[in-house]
Structure 1
Amino acid sequence: MNTDLEIARSVQLRPIQEVAQKLNVPADELELYGKYKAKLPLHLIEESRWKKSKLILVSAISPTPAGEGKTTVSIGLSEGLNRNGHQTCVVLREPSLGPVFGIKGGATGGGWSQVLPMEDINLHFTGDFSAIEKAHNLLAALIDNNLQSKTRSLGIDPRTVLWKRVLDMNDRALRQVVIGLGGTASGVPRETGFDITAASEIMAILCLAKDRKDLKERLGNIFVGFTFDKQPIYARDLNAQGAMAALLKDAIQPNLVQTIEGNPAIIHGGPFANIAQGTNSVIATRMGLSLADYVVTEAGFGFDLGAEKFFDIKCQSAGLSPRAVVLVATIRALKYHGGVALSDLKENNPEAVRAGLPNLEKHLENIGLFGIPAVVAINRFAGDSDEEVAIVQQRATELGVEAVVADGWAEGGGGTTQLAEAVVEAIDRSEGDFRPLYDWDLPVEEKIATVAAKIYGAKAIDYTAKAKADLRKIAGLGLDKLPVCIAKTQKSLSDNPKLLGRPKDFVVTVREIEIAAGAGFLIPITGNIMRMPGLPAEPAAEHIDIDAEGNITGLF
């Protein structure tokens, strides 16, 4: 057995009621979705409890195109903490169908550090993505219906409407479309397009909402566009928020599943880490902290993207105070940042590891800016030499940080108990003095400059004419007190994917600034951010099948 699916199938799943008992959740509180999945009611969240439990964030150095295994490390760390006697729950994002059928595959961990049932989680799961898709597209339909209306028109200028439709599939042909063709009965012709569901502002809203009341208010705050006489239009002006919230009635509740070792895992939401906050929902995180002493969670891409947004947007918005960061590093990523081609990363090359260490060093510096202790998890792959691993551990020691080999893929919790011990010790030694990077009340330009200079290492910001016009529009709408969710490449600390390692003295170019008033943040766009991926030449979908008994093959 060597594939993730074969390993998953070798495990005897426990009834979800038995898993819930580990969190002291009675069986009659669960809303069952079959034998092994359930939704958790929101009333289980208790502020007095979640503020006392310990939140651990798993992030990473700047990744290679293949990723560095944050989810596998997160699940493995949770298993290790449970083995060491600490009541722990891992809280993760839901996978998107686009990558599942595209090139990346699923997002349920790997090897002996997985969440189960992996087939269900990677496919339709409990229908959350479908509900988000429908709520998003309902608003799109209401906008176009109002453009068509002769009696109830709000006078929306269709040229200012940027709200697209969404679909949870990689489909490049839908990136740009023209709608409303076929005569006056078919609507107002205009250019629009599709994004993937994970890129929807509804996804970001669901994952930042604190409860159903907050969800509905955020949905009403979605900025739609302007009227012909330059008045702003929001979703509440279309009376959209009630119906959209109704579609999300069940989707707002977190999902309880299990790890390979039968420990609890909460999986909920899945926003992009480029144009959104890139982490699971506030509700799921608070739920985990309400039910367990330790919660392990992750944020997308490297620390400069997902983790910065986790701290400055999610934690500030939700009142969360994380206690430690586990920074995942791989030997192959360090060699990649040391100048080695992707095709040669498996070859032993200690000098390239040394050359790539500045990327690790910068991410550790960034963690220190937030006042949180760090532990480096070396996610070891077959072929990584002892000498290469020792180089990373020695440098981490010189920086005052412990670096521990994590082998959760091959050994599950048995390969992460040492990492778990190091994390608990780091938390116990720390005073837990979490501090965000910037105050939301600062001017927008200062917030952008703070992140770019302190986290990326940029020397200056260049604004295009479009971005400057967007700044004036944001100020005119009174939205300049929102935090910034900077969209940039994940491949580099800079906005240039070709600048690997630890680039310095570069200029970040802000092309435009989008408004996500419902989610509650602004999106400065740097570079080209793909929101509707395409399928590769050989999609993973070609290798996925199901037999006459309903057994799925080809998922990974």
Structure 2
Amino acid sequence: MKSDIEIAHDTTELPITEIAQQIGLSEKQLIPYGHDKAKIDAASLANAPRQGKLILVTSINPTPAGEGKTTVTIGLVDAINRLGKSAIGALREPSMGPVFGLKGGATGGGFAQVIPMDDINLHFTGDIHAVSAAHNLLAAVLDNHLHQGNALQIDPDNIFWRRVLDMNDRALRQVTLGKGRINGPERDSGFDITASSEIMAILTLSKNLSDLKKRLGRIVVALNVKGEPVTVADLKVAGALTAVLKDAINPNLVQSLEHSPFIIHGGPFANIAQGTNSVIATDTALKLADYAVTEAGFGSDLGGEKFMDVKVPVLGKEPDAVVLVATIKALKFHAGVALADLGQKDVAAVKKGMANLDRHLNAMTRYGKPVVVALNKFASDDMEEIRAVKNFVENEKGLKMEIATSFVDGFEGSLELAKTVIAAADNHHFFMPLYHADDTIEDKMTTIIEKIYGGKNYELSDRAVSDLAELKANGWDKLPVVIAKTPNSLTDDSKIHGAPSGFTIHIRRFIPKIGAGFVVAMAGKVLMMPGLGKVPAAEKIDVDENGQITGLS
């Protein structure tokens, strides 16, 4: 079988104007970025009614073998369209950090991809660069304010705002700013990855340009010497930041290999942010199709929970059905099977590993919406192993399971899944939020840890205790909580797999994201700036004399 990028390059793309026509968009509603991608003028759809049902795709805890959540999402959209319904996919934009690191790209794989995959995985339409520029403009203005006399009396030891870069670069996690007599004042700081920026979170949660500007103005960059918050509005640059982002707020239209429409917009990570594409992108898909199919990053314990508890209240629309992706290999991995042995038949390990699947099914069914399991089938999977999973899902859990083979078979590999998901989404079920909006931060964390992770409680560091006191003093203790933790485990320890119970989540600090409208609880050793692996994917990527990129996946 050809590589992902070879398959993508062999596909003849339709002009993006034809894709737009499929979903009722006029040329005036498009802002072209070449022939194969365009931005949609979101303002032109502001008053259009929603007509579609919302499908959320999430998964069990990811493993090094890869679960193919995006591949399943793309195959599902293609299949729904082939069944005579209209479907639009709504995905996040890939960060170049993971593209050049270990994970690789995020445009699907095999015969279930979105294209142009090399553009999408690299610079695309410049949205992430715009977020970086806006974030670092604010950092420059902040440090300039300190240099020019510090009229706002900002406490240098209580500055939250660091700088960002869309790259995995561990050397920049901790830096000293202002070294040299004319460059001060000197202070410790560092860089985070752009996907973790509050501005990325704001971009993806804003409903329009006006909302974006208001949210940017509410960003708390520091505390002053009295312990009072200092905001972007205080620094008088909300307008300038909005100017940098005025084009980035419009969602991007591309297509799949099967020429299904996809809207790709925003890229917050689910382990350190809310992990979903933009409210505007999802809203646009709901207005233009019978079914909007979106995904949340990593497993349901991260992206799935944050979609339900952070995005849904802003979007004003809950999913009509949830698709939970699992693989035979992942179940074996969560049973303790070594990575090198995952291709060997082991029914007992599959059954043991289903404890992780069970935990995620329990987490998602708590919200009251129908859940369908998509078993992403690999060539090495044995039918006895598959039957064991199907028996568990359908006979023990009372849910539906379908096999997905979109990677190899394209849309045909997801037709049965599509039929099952459509049937599930057509049955009305009441949405049940996990917690109440006016619950305290402590109560919200306890609920997430107990009901989603399967843990028992949390423990706060001395810094977290101090942070929590500041949150309460400023009236921020009723905001939603985004727990930032490893995606590889239900716990905050990446080495603990399966479905442990009764564990403690260790919170080392709280970070207020007032513009975004939530508080981040930093758990375990999760980092805001990833590093590159021993053999980064960048070593495999090349360009030939004709400008054709190779090695990108």
TM-score range (shorter-chain normalised) is: over 0.9
Contact preservation (8 Å) 1:162, 1:192: no
- Tell me what 2:534 maps to: 537
1:104-130 CA-to-partner distances (Å, cap 9, x unmatched) read 111100000000011110110000011
> Paired residue for 1:234?
231
Which letter does structure 2 place at the counterpart of 1:54? K
8 Å contact kept, 1:115–1:259: yes
Q: Does 2:102 correspond to 1:94?
A: no
Contact 2:65 2:329 in 1 (8 A): no
TM-superposed CA distance for 1:169, in Å, is 1.1
Other-structure match for 1:318? 315
Note if 1:283 corresponds to 2:280.
yes
1:166 equivalent among 164, 167, 170: 164
1:400-441 C-alpha deviation (Å, 9 max, x unpaired)? 11111100100111110100000011122x323122111121
Percent identity over the alignment is 52
- Residue aligning to 2:367: 370
CA 306–47 in structure 1, closer or farther in 2 if over 3 Å, else same = farther
Letter in 1 for 2:121: N
Note closer, same or farther for the CA distance 1:39–1:48 as it changes in structure 2 (3 Å cut).
Answer: closer
SS in 1 for 2:285: helix
* Aligned twin of 2:68: 69
Q: Which amino acid aligns with 1:72?
A: T
Whichever residue aligns with residue 175 of structure 1, its letter is R
CA distance, structure 1, for counterparts of residue 158 and residue 237 of structure 2: 18
* Deviation digits for residues 373-396 of structure 1 (CA, Å, limit 9, x no counterpart): 011000011101111111111111
Match of 1:497 in 2: 494
**Structure 1, residues 195-246: CA drift from partner, whole Å, max 9, x if none?**
1111111101100011111111111111111112322211110012110010
TM-score of the two chains, using structure 1 as the length reference: 0.97
Distance of 1:284 and 1:188 partners within structure 2: 42
Deviations 1:483-540 (A, max 9, x none): 0001111111122223321111112222221111111101111101122112222221
1:47 Cα deviation (Å)? Answer: 5.9
SS of residue paired to 2:157:
helix
Instruction: Assess if the C-alpha contact under 8 Å between 2:219 and 2:231 holds in 1.
Output: yes
Contact 1:44/1:290, CA 8 A, preserved across alignment: no
Written as runs of structure 1 = structure 2, the 5 A alignment for 1:115-514 is: 115-150=114-149, 153-183=151-181, 185-398=182-395, 399-428=397-426, 430-514=427-511
What CA distance in whole angstroms lies between the structure 1 residues aligned with 2:369 and 2:522?
Answer: 28
Report the equivalent of 1:108. 107
The unaligned stretches of length 5 or more in structure 1 are: none
State the secondary structure of the residue aligned to 2:6.
Answer: helix
Amino acid at match of 1:17: T
CA contact (8 A) 1:513 1:524 kept: yes
For 2:402, what is the secondary structure of its paired residue? strand
* Equivalent-residue separation in structure 1 for 2:64 and 2:313 (angstroms): 30
1:362 Cα deviation after fit: 1.4
Q: Does 1:519 align with 2:516?
A: yes
Name whichever of 463-472 and 391-400 sits farther off: 463-472
- The letter of the residue matching 2:68 is G
- 2:162 and 2:189 in contact (8 A); partners too: yes
Deviations 1:100-159 (A, max 9, x none): 111211110000000001111011000001100000001100110000013x62111111
The DSSP-based 3-state class of the residue aligned with 1:7 is: helix
Does structure 2 conserve the Cα–Cα contact (< 8 Å) formed by 1:145 and 1:187?
no
Q: Distance in 2 between matches of 1:44 and 1:481?
A: 35
Could you tell me which amino acid in structure 1 is paired with residue 477 of structure 2? D
After TM superposition, give the deviation of residue 298 of structure 1 in Å: 0.4
| SS of equivalent to 1:505 | coil
More deviation in 358-367 or 133-142? Answer: 358-367
Offset at 1:48?
5.8
> 1:27-48: CA deviations, max 9, x gaps?
2321000000000011343566
CA distance in 2, matches of 1:182, 1:164: 19
Deviates more, 1:136-145 or 1:39-48: 39-48
The corresponding residue for 1:28 is 28
Q: Is this contact kept in 1: 2:328–2:381, CA < 8 A? A: yes
Unpaired segments ≥5 residues, structure 2: none
Partner of 1:10: 10
TM superposition outliers: structure 1 runs of 4+ over 4 Å: none
Across the aligned residues of Structure 1 and Structure 2, the Cα RMSD in angstroms comes to: 1.2
Q: Is the 2:324–2:374 Cα contact (8 Å) retained in structure 1?
A: yes
Please give the alpha-carbon distance, in whole angstroms, between the structure 1 residues aligned to 2:309 and 2:76. 24
Bigger mean CA offset, 486-495 vs 412-421: 486-495
Aligned partners of 1:463, 1:171: CA distance in 2, in Å? 28
Q: Is the 8 A contact 1:350 1:388 kept in 2?
A: yes
SS at match of 1:542: helix
TM-score if structure 2 supplies the norm length? 0.98
